[in-house]
């Protein structure tokens, strides 16, 4: 199990884990609500129904931070077979709260001329 920290954007978390169980079994743990509840409880989700589902491969849930300001996000859980019969679980968690859209994209051409001042 490791955090590879690959492809990290400013408002995104990407983690990858080696799971010692076959993909079909991990898929059941992710997608069957009774199982999902035991590791990813509905109280952490904005909606316990997945946003999208590609059986055996990918599942997306909408999440809401239980603490103020209750930021909304989408987590994508990818599964792929790993060597030795295990599973590689990739977690891509994107902060999608629309209240942040006005500040998240650091558009290079926004807000007038750039300031090149030394700190």
Which residues are at the interface with another protein (CB under 8 A)?
1, 3, 10-11, 13, 15, 17, 19-21, 25-26, 28-29, 35, 38-40, 44, 65, 67, 69, 71, 73, 89, 91, 93, 95, 99-100, 103-104, 106, 115, 119
DSSP state of 98: G
Sign of the torsion angle spanned by Cα atoms 46, 39, 23, 2: positive
Report d(CA 13, CA 100) in Å as an integer.
Answer: 16
Residue 39: CB minimum distance to another protein, A: 4
Residue 79: CB minimum distance to another protein, A: 12
Residue 38: CB minimum distance to another protein, A: 5
For residue 51, the surrounding DSSP H or E stretch is strand 45-54
Report d(CA 17, CA 22) in Å as an integer.
Answer: 13
């Amino acid at each position: 199990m490791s955090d590879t920290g690959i492809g990290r954007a400013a408002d995104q978390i990407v983690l990858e884990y080696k799971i010692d169980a076959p993909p079909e079994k991990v898929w059941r743990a992710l997608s069957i609500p009774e199982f999902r509840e035991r590791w990813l409880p509905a109280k952490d989700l904005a909606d316990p129904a997945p946003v999208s589902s590609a059986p055996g491969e990918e599942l997306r849930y909408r999440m809401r931070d239980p603490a103020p300001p209750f930021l909304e996000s989408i987590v994508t859980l990818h599964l792929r077979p790993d060597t030795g019969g295990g599973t590689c679980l990739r977690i891509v968690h994107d902060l999608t709260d629309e209240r942040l859209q006005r500040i998240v994209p650091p558009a290079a051409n926004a807000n007038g001329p750039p300031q090149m001042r030394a700190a």
